[in-house]
Amino acid sequence: MIVFDNVVKHYPGGYTALDGVSLKIETGELVIISGHSGAGKSTLLKLIPAMERPSSGSVWLNDQDVSRLPRRAIPYLRRNIGLVLQENRLLFDRTIYDNILLPLIINGHPPGDAGRRVEAALDRVGLHGREREFPSGLSGGEQQRVAIARAFVNRPSILIADEPTAHLDPAYAAEIAELFNSFNSAGVTVLVVTHDVALFRHWSPRRLALAHGRLMEE
């Protein structure tokens, strides 16, 4: 369960990204967050893996106050959260296989088990057989699928994605949306920030809208 309790986030220079946001997301929900540019959507997502800290209020994840977590505990928190960013943040000097393997190495998985998980993840995103290729040889949609495989290979309980379909053509975007829905069907809590709410309408997700740092509708 994720709880935002009256969260305010100011950035240096006086810009307020979030202004008193309170919400509760139950385990296993599929949540779509929309809003205009600068509405605070990305900030909202970044507070969950402690990429940002709230200026006031608190963010709770399964009874753990993430906003007051000591620095040394943050890596362990992030290992339970799959993260897909707008820029896929792949390592272009490593193969697709090595990119997906990285979170498993970080998490200390034994090599044999890690290898099987990477293969399964590649299969899931439709890139089986291409593991020795480098990300630079893939299309935008394929790169995003590698990023998604990397996000869920560790079998996280929460998957958060910031504009995962932003630069993709409609066919690729629909494939990505389908992937997120399949994870949610497997019991993973999925939060997706997107401008393209229609992509997910088919699965009747819970919809949140942000405007000027405030939660406008739920």
Nearer to another protein, 47 or 215 (CB): 47
Give the DSSP letter of residue 36: S
User: In 3D, which of 2, 63, 47, 50 has the Cα closest to residue 27?
Assistant: 2
Closest approach, Cβ 106 to another protein, in A, equals 5
Nearer to another protein, 97 or 200 (CB): 97
Nearer to another protein, 93 or 218 (CB): 93
Nearer to another protein, 23 or 77 (CB): 77
Judged by phi (left if over 0) then psi (alpha if -120 to 50, else beta), residue 185 lies in alpha
| Segment lying near another protein (by CB under 8 A), choices 22-30, 69-77, 134-142, 185-193 | 69-77
Ordered alpha helix ranges (H), the chain: 41-47, 74-78, 96-106, 111-124, 140-152, 170-185
CA angle, 210 then 216 then 218, to 5°: 100
- Distance, CA of 50 to CA of 71 (rounded, Å): 9
53 contributes a contact to another protein by CB under 8 A:
no
Nearer to another protein, 162 or 196 (CB): 162
Closest approach, Cβ 181 to another protein, in A, equals 23
Closest approach, Cβ 20 to another protein, in A, equals 27
Neighbours of 37 (CB within 10 A): 7
CA angle, 155 then 218 then 197, to 5°: 65
- Distance, CA of 66 to CA of 55 (rounded, Å): 13
Q: In what order do the strands lie in the sheet with 214-217?
A: 81-84, 158-162, 189-193, 30-35, 206-211, 214-217
Binding test (CB under 8 A) with another protein, winner from 76, 123, 185, 202: 76
89 contributes a contact to another protein by CB under 8 A:
yes
Closest approach, Cβ 118 to another protein, in A, equals 14
Nearer to another protein, 193 or 199 (CB): 193
117 contributes a contact to another protein by CB under 8 A:
no
Binding test (CB under 8 A) with another protein, winner from 51, 166, 197, 209: 51
Interface residues toward another protein, by CB under 8 A: 49, 51, 72, 75-79, 83, 85, 89-91, 102-103, 105-108, 110-111, 150
